[in-house]
Amino acid sequence: MDDHDQRLAEAADNTYVVRPPTQALATFGTTLVRYYLVTEPLFREVDARGELESVVREGVVRAERPHVVTPYYLSRHEGFGDDARSYIEHLMREIGPDAPGLLYSYKNEGMETTIVSGGAQEVTARIVARLDRDHKPLEAVIRGVDDLWDVSLMKFIYELTARSARSNASELRSQGLLETDGGVPRDARRRIEALLEQARRGNADPSEVHRELERWGLFDEYQDRFLGLFKRR
């Protein structure tokens, strides 16, 4: 492990999700999770009154609805390096090309950084107390590392995903959306139907529909409906 990898590992080890959201990610919709990431300044100083200061990064993680995917579907994506492709090929051999899994996507939005009085432990406790008092189920508090704050945020996202995946999978399974039809999960077919309808209404680019059909190997099956998007009404 080189020095950079060692720093990343240390940042992850020194990141603590002090107050995780008390509510799991939604299975059938977008979830907005507000976070407060508290760190000690890289160059630790005291203010004019001799008090410690902390850095608070506040923002929102937008978690899109998890999609059911398969190793085959992932193998049809572009932009993967050789190592990633080798791993996907390994998955296809080990669990099969059509084994369903969940794919989560996130976006960090509107992050603001402020300097507040008090040490990191004190500031963290204040924020936690306020959120508990106000009963905020989708707000989180994280203690992290200042110069590698994005690593701290990613560790939080990873743990949030791990906590939510079981309940998300259970809800999808209860509705039969993890079952496959012709090697394609029913959830994927439902997404394709929704994309086709959005494109028909002009709310989605047909190229997005085409990409999704190609990734699932379903273009021939949906070809007539896809081409129908371009017919003048």
Structural domain boundaries in the chain: 1-66+104-175
Cα–Cα dist 218/192, whole Å:
10
Q: In what order do the strands lie in the sheet with 31-39?
A: 16-19, 139-143, 31-39, 53-63, 106-117
Structure tokens at 7: 């720093």
Helices (H), the chain: 3-13, 71-75, 82-95, 120-133, 149-174, 186-200, 206-216, 219-227
Sign of CA dihedral 135, 141, 129, 123: negative
Task: Give the Cα separation of 72 and 183 in Å (integer).
Answer: 9
Task: State the CB neighbour count (10 A cutoff) for residue 120.
Answer: 21
DSSP three-state, residue 109: strand
- Gyration radius from the chain CA atoms: 22
Reading the block at residue 131, the tokens are: 């959120």
Residue in the structure block whose two tokens are 């959830």: 187
Q: How many CB atoms lie within 10 A of CB 186?
A: 17
Contact 65, 28 (CB under 8 A): yes
Could you give the angle at the alpha carbon of 199 between the alpha carbons of 193 and 204, nearest 5°?
Answer: 110
Q: What is the pLDDT of residue 153?
A: 95
* pLDDT at position 231: 79
Cα separation, 85 vs 67, in Å, equals 20
- Smallest CA-to-CA distance from 17 within 118, 128, 122 is with 128
CA distances from 173 to 4, 73, 155, 176, 191 (A): 41, 19, 27, 5, 16
Question: From the CB of residue 75, how many other CB atoms can be counted at a distance below 10 Å?
Answer: 16
Q: Do 114 and 56 contact (CB within 8 A), yes or no?
A: yes
The tens place of each residue's pLDDT in the chain, 233 residues long, gives 678 888 888 999 999 999 999 999 999 999 999 999 999 998 765 445 567 899 999 999 999 999 999 999 999 987 778 888 888 888 899 999 999 999 999 999 999 999 999 999 999 999 999 999 999 999 999 999 999 999 999 999 999 999 999 999 999 999 999 999 888 999 999 999 999 999 999 999 999 999 999 999 999 999 999 999 987 55
